[in-house]
Structure 1
Amino acid sequence: MQGHMMFQPLLISSLIKHAERYHGDTAIISKNTDGTITKTDWTHISENSKRFANALSALGLKESDRVATIAWNNHRHLESWYAISGSGFVCHTINPRLFPEQLVFIINDAQDKVVLFDKTFLPLIKGVKSHTPHVEHFIYLGAYDQNVADAVPNVKFYDVLIAEQSSEFEWPSFDETTASSLCYTSGTTGNPKGALYSHRSTLLHTYAICLPDSLNLSAHDVMLPVVPMFHVNAWGTPYAAAMVGATLVLPGPGLDGASLVELIDEFKVTVALGVPTIWQGLLAAAKQSGSRLESMKRNVVGGSACPPAMMAAFKNSYQCETIHAWGMTETSPLGSANQLKAKHSLLSEDEKFKLRLSQGRPPFGVDLRITDQENGTHVLANDGHTSGNLQIRGHWIIDSYLGKSSSALTSDGWFDTGDIATLDEDGYLTLSDRSKDLIKSGGEWISSVELENIAMGHPDIAMAAVIAATHPKWDERPVVIAIKTPNSQITEQQLLDYYSDKVAKWQIPDKVVFVDAIPLTGTGKMLKRDLREQYGHVLLN
């Protein structure tokens, strides 16, 4: 016997309809590519998304055709998102920081029919246009611009297109398992791979990140997604903001610390989200300007482990609670978020802080396990000590990559993340390392993440990466690649001495290399592959 309840498919268009109907006057603040600010609201975002949906329909696209975006976090990008997915097309967000060869590969692999772009990326479009034969239309996200028209023959202009269309549009209904959006992995080894999300998976993920035990989002919030919309859909926050009716502050291209401090203080941001490298710049800028970041109640850190010193700085200097989260492109991305349980109220402040350093626990909808590194399906204990391969399954987890006939899952249906981690009895996840970044010294494993966190806890170190360097006796030994803070006079030996009471003697790095910059991926993670290529033999010289 089945239940006698209404059935409505879980569709992304329902989010923008809800936001318009019940939160229409809630502000959307957008910093444009030219530095100007556009103030709009959910009503106008919805109306323009319907105008653009009409424009896309007029181009003759068919259901599930891919429409790519190469754009910053701004109001036009937001409008186009809802227009594309809501119409039954696939919104393919592209990371513009990839190599041109990878951009060409991604556009061709996805068989994008339309590419939307911000002016910043005009040179990229000029470079890839002749190599992307599937693309039928290039659309500039702005008003008519003669320079753009001269550079890209037959280019269309977003503002012109929506001005020609009506805001009357009936969002179509279709199967909730229809593809909604497409994100590619960063491609640090080999070509990027496509993760194709569905409307159903996206809506369930949106519910999950709004929960109090996840990111705790509501209509009270003024949300600043510093994480780009081309990085796993800004971790789903533009969908969540529509679901709960939150104010969005979209930062555009200015992701430097000073620009972010200005936006936070001017628009009273309550929650901001980004990777650790973003927060390093923000903390430095706030200290320099004297800002107290008074409106900020919490910040969400993901993408890589949050250094303890950074978490302490937010809490002690700005009374801002840091939510440590974990996920990846293949998980939509949320896999865990760190919120304490009722029983933890009995812990001391130091004990609570130590618990908050973990990546948190999975929300309903996903499950985590760790397995033996030699046998990928032999499940290990959730005791907080035993480490192994981190695997995940759930409602918004990939089962195969775009265009691949083979499954991406283990023989018993789990996705192996490539992370090494522990889980405790409450499900709190602590990442040790990426499996490819672990350092095997004399047959024993050393976590590069732990050594990086220690280095970045030193007041004279602005950023640090730890890599495995080849060693003639021990196979591999840790080497620190570090950036000093301005005016710092710290020496190599002083930083090595800093480790002496924090890790076992055999885990102390063999060498420190001071550099002016550390290469980052397009999503702000340290590019250790490049560092290994450059410094991986430094102990042999």
Structure 2
Amino acid sequence: MRSTMQNVPLLTSRIIDYAGDVYPGSEVVTWGADGPRRSSFTDVAKDCRRLANALRTLGIDGDQRVGSFMWNNEEHLELYLGVPAAGAVLHTINIRLFPQQMVYVVNHAEDKVIFVDNSLAQPFSALLEHTPTVEHVVVNGPVPDEVKQALAGGGKRQVHDYRQLLDAQPDTFAWPEVDENDGTLMCYTSGTTGHPKGVVYSHRSNLLHATFCAGANGLGLTQSARALAIVPLFHANAWGLAYAAMMAGSSLIMPDRFLQPEPLARMIESEKVTCGGAVPTLMTGLLEYLDGHPETDVSSLDRVIIGGSACPPALMHAFHDRYDVTVLHGWGMTETSPLGTVAIAPVGVEGEEYWNYRHSQGRLALHVEARLVGPDGAVQPWDGEAVGEIEVRGPWVTGSYYRDDDAASAEKFDEGWLRTGDVGSLTADGYLTISDRAKDVIKSGGEWISSIDLENELMAHPGVREASVVGVPDEKWGERPLAIVVPVEGQTPAVEDLRSFLQDRVARWQVPERWAFVTEVPKTSVGKFDKKTLRARYAEGSLSVVQVERTSA
């Protein structure tokens, strides 16, 4: 028997019309040097339609790629909504990639039009000489004539002003009825080896993902929420926040380029932010600022979801104890749209059991299936003890990479499952705990050591601001952990103090005997600890390493 339900395609254009019609009181607030500027959801929806008309005048009449090289602001959100709704594909370019990687992704995606913020226009112009597919550049905000000339490249490209381009267009547009499985947005992974890999999201995948994100087991968004979008729109599908907030009527606070602790604290205070998403390094900086400025009122802030890398438990407890803010783990990757889990504890649990759930990466989302695969290829049980590589599949999990026939990429997929590269365990009730990245697990004397566990324990020490742990060659044991520590400003923790601190928290044989102290741990383009660089620095001898005798038991 077939159902009697209407077969209406799931299209992101519906979010624009719905948000503009039913949430006229919700707003998008963009932070600026002179304070915030505001637009209602209704005004944003009108601009999305103007944008669609403008794209037609620039020759975007199908699923061509439109690039963005922008901060989180209203205009970037309008691209996020309006470009896919018009039937094209938005390619959000990670502004923190190396220049040669930026050139590669623009050429690989074949971007035809690129939108760029005025504050980024001058450095971006240097890349355009190497991107022959780009025909138009649209600049958000005024730029000097010499920058316009550089963007134009001697007449190779046409340069437009964003506001003037949109103001010349009507605010009505008939959204095309495209296939719900057509592409909407594309992000490139920031892998540490080879070229970045393109992931293309669909209308269907983004709507299903946004529904989970907005729900109670995700970000818990409602019309009364005010969400601070710290996570960049160019990073891992913006964690679904842009679509989810518009769907739920949650006002969006866009920080633009003001991502330092002081302006973020001011945004939370003045805009009465209730929730948001960020990486651990930004939240660490915000915590330090708040501790040093107790007059700052962040009482409106209820919950923040943290992803990108594991959140140290000490950071969760500090926000909970000092500011009554719930910091939630979320797990996922560019390939999973990205949210696959959120660490909301089950109802009724308390005390240590409650925090055990909170310290995990979280419970699997409804549409994300997962399995654990051991080194021998056998599927492991969900018992909270067995460990394996996490493989996932689902309607918002990618099944391939865009225009990619690399043999190494093919190994990312296992009979319809995505191999995530994360190693961990699953409890019987579907809570995931990541032990490490497969490439970062330290194999010492035939036993595994979790670099993440060591990092989390070290960052619980009051004298440690950041800590990263990598495996380095050892003549006797094969590999041993090297701890790279950033002390809290004004403190100089001794190696023996840190070792004693760890000995009460991990198996004694896991305690590192190699230590390095640095002013900053290098980060990748998405804010993760750059362990490849740390290993290289150790190998070339540029890290000053203190080595002590190994703890034997």
Counterparts in 2 of 1:293 and 1:42: CA distance versus 1, 3 Å: same
1:16-95 matches, within 5 Å, as 16-32=16-32, 34=33, 36-95=35-94
Instruction: Tell me how far apart the structure 1 counterparts of residues 546 and 330 of structure 2 sit (CA, whole Å).
Output: 38
1:504 is matched with 507
CA displacement 1:26-68 (0-9 Å, x = unmatched): 1211024x55421111011111111111110111123110001
Deviation, 1:354, is 2.0
Instruction: Tell me how far apart the structure 2 counterparts of residues 233 and 147 of structure 1 sit (CA, whole Å).
Output: 33
CA displacement 1:59-102 (0-9 Å, x = unmatched): 11231100010100000111122221110100100111111000
Instruction: Tell me how far apart the structure 1 counterparts of residues 375 and 39 of structure 2 sit (CA, whole Å).
Output: 51
Instruction: Tell me how far apart the structure 1 counterparts of residues 212 and 486 of structure 2 sit (CA, whole Å).
Output: 37
1:394 is matched with 394
1:532 is matched with 535
Deviation, 1:25, is 2.3
Secondary structure (helix, strand or coil) at the match of 2:21 reads helix
Instruction: Tell me how far apart the structure 2 counterparts of residues 403 and 532 of structure 1 sit (CA, whole Å).
Output: 31
Instruction: Tell me how far apart the structure 2 counterparts of residues 92 and 237 of structure 1 sit (CA, whole Å).
Output: 17
Do the aligned partners of 1:401 and 1:408 also contact (CA within 8 Å) in 2? Answer: no
Q: Does 1:277 align with 2:281?
A: yes
Do the aligned partners of 2:28 and 2:253 also contact (CA within 8 Å) in 1? Answer: yes
Q: Does 1:310 align with 2:315?
A: yes
Do the aligned partners of 1:142 and 1:158 also contact (CA within 8 Å) in 2? Answer: yes
Q: Which amino acid letter does the alignment assign opposite residue 327 of structure 1?
A: G
Q: Does 1:328 align with 2:327?
A: no
Instruction: Tell me how far apart the structure 1 counterparts of residues 395 and 87 of structure 2 sit (CA, whole Å).
Output: 20
Do the aligned partners of 2:125 and 2:147 also contact (CA within 8 Å) in 1? Answer: no
Instruction: Tell me how far apart the structure 1 counterparts of residues 418 and 237 of structure 2 sit (CA, whole Å).
Output: 20
Tell which deviates more after alignment, 529-538 or 258-267. 529-538
2:444 to 424, 441, 444: 441
1:287-302 matches, within 5 Å, as 287-290=291-294, 291-302=296-307
Do the aligned partners of 2:237 and 2:334 also contact (CA within 8 Å) in 1? Answer: no
Deviation, 1:410, is 3.9
Q: What is the root-mean-square deviation of aligned Cα atoms in Å?
A: 1.6
1:113 is matched with 112
Deviation, 1:208, is 1.1
1:132 is matched with 131
Instruction: Tell me how far apart the structure 2 counterparts of residues 409 and 7 of structure 1 sit (CA, whole Å).
Output: 34
1:514 is matched with 517
CA displacement 1:401-429 (0-9 Å, x = unmatched): 00025856644311110000100100100
2:251 is matched with 247
Q: Which amino acid letter does the alignment assign opposite residue 338 of structure 1?
A: A
Q: Which amino acid letter does the alignment assign opposite residue 131 of structure 1?
A: H
Deviation, 1:7, is 2.2
Q: Which amino acid letter does the alignment assign opposite residue 93 of structure 1?
A: T
Deviation, 1:363, is 1.4
Any gaps of 5 or more consecutive residues in structure 1?
A: none
Q: Which amino acid letter does the alignment assign opposite residue 319 of structure 1?
A: D
1:359 is matched with 361
Instruction: Tell me how far apart the structure 1 counterparts of residues 270 and 219 of structure 2 sit (CA, whole Å).
Output: 23
| TM-score, scaled to structure 1 | 0.96
Q: Which amino acid letter does the alignment assign opposite residue 372 of structure 2?
A: I
Instruction: Tell me how far apart the structure 1 counterparts of residues 196 and 122 of structure 2 sit (CA, whole Å).
Output: 22
Do the aligned partners of 1:179 and 1:198 also contact (CA within 8 Å) in 2? Answer: yes
Secondary structure (helix, strand or coil) at the match of 2:485 reads strand
Do the aligned partners of 2:97 and 2:525 also contact (CA within 8 Å) in 1? Answer: yes
CA displacement 1:319-358 (0-9 Å, x = unmatched): 111211100000000111111223xx1x332221122000
Q: Which amino acid letter does the alignment assign opposite residue 366 of structure 1?
A: V
Tell which deviates more after alignment, 156-165 or 23-32. 23-32
1:350 is matched with 352
Deviation, 1:537, is 6.9
Instruction: Tell me how far apart the structure 2 counterparts of residues 501 and 115 of structure 1 sit (CA, whole Å).
Output: 54
Do the aligned partners of 1:63 and 1:88 also contact (CA within 8 Å) in 2? Answer: yes
Question: Percent same amino acid at aligned positions?
Answer: 39
Do the aligned partners of 1:65 and 1:112 also contact (CA within 8 Å) in 2? Answer: yes
Instruction: Tell me how far apart the structure 2 counterparts of residues 283 and 187 of structure 1 sit (CA, whole Å).
Output: 29
Q: Which amino acid letter does the alignment assign opposite residue 486 of structure 1?
A: E
1:98-247 matches, within 5 Å, as 98-143=97-142, 145-153=144-152, 154-247=158-251
Instruction: Tell me how far apart the structure 2 counterparts of residues 411 and 428 of structure 1 sit (CA, whole Å).
Output: 22
Do the aligned partners of 1:194 and 1:402 also contact (CA within 8 Å) in 2? Answer: yes
Tell which deviates more after alignment, 236-245 or 135-144. 135-144
Deviation, 1:145, is 4.9
Instruction: Tell me how far apart the structure 2 counterparts of residues 329 and 408 of structure 1 sit (CA, whole Å).
Output: 17
Instruction: Tell me how far apart the structure 2 counterparts of residues 421 and 87 of structure 1 sit (CA, whole Å).
Output: 41
Secondary structure (helix, strand or coil) at the match of 1:361 reads strand
Tell which deviates more after alignment, 147-156 or 516-525. 147-156
Instruction: Tell me how far apart the structure 2 counterparts of residues 300 and 540 of structure 1 sit (CA, whole Å).
Output: 36
Do the aligned partners of 1:389 and 1:417 also contact (CA within 8 Å) in 2? Answer: yes
Do the aligned partners of 1:299 and 1:320 also contact (CA within 8 Å) in 2? Answer: yes
Counterparts in 2 of 1:293 and 1:63: CA distance versus 1, 3 Å: same
Deviation, 1:104, is 0.4
Counterparts in 2 of 1:419 and 1:203: CA distance versus 1, 3 Å: same
Do the aligned partners of 1:470 and 1:540 also contact (CA within 8 Å) in 2? Answer: no
Instruction: Tell me how far apart the structure 2 counterparts of residues 145 and 297 of structure 1 sit (CA, whole Å).
Output: 42
2:155 is matched with none
Off by >6 Å, runs of 4+ in structure 1: 537-541
Tell which deviates more after alignment, 220-229 or 348-357. 348-357
Deviation, 1:143, is 4.4
Counterparts in 2 of 1:211 and 1:477: CA distance versus 1, 3 Å: same
2:373 is matched with 371
| TM-score, scaled to structure 2 | 0.94
Instruction: Tell me how far apart the structure 2 counterparts of residues 398 and 409 of structure 1 sit (CA, whole Å).
Output: 11
Instruction: Tell me how far apart the structure 2 counterparts of residues 415 and 455 of structure 1 sit (CA, whole Å).
Output: 32
CA displacement 1:371-416 (0-9 Å, x = unmatched): 11232xx210101011100010001000010002585664431111
Q: Which amino acid letter does the alignment assign opposite residue 370 of structure 2?
A: L
Q: Which amino acid letter does the alignment assign opposite residue 398 of structure 1?
A: T
Counterparts in 2 of 1:178 and 1:67: CA distance versus 1, 3 Å: same
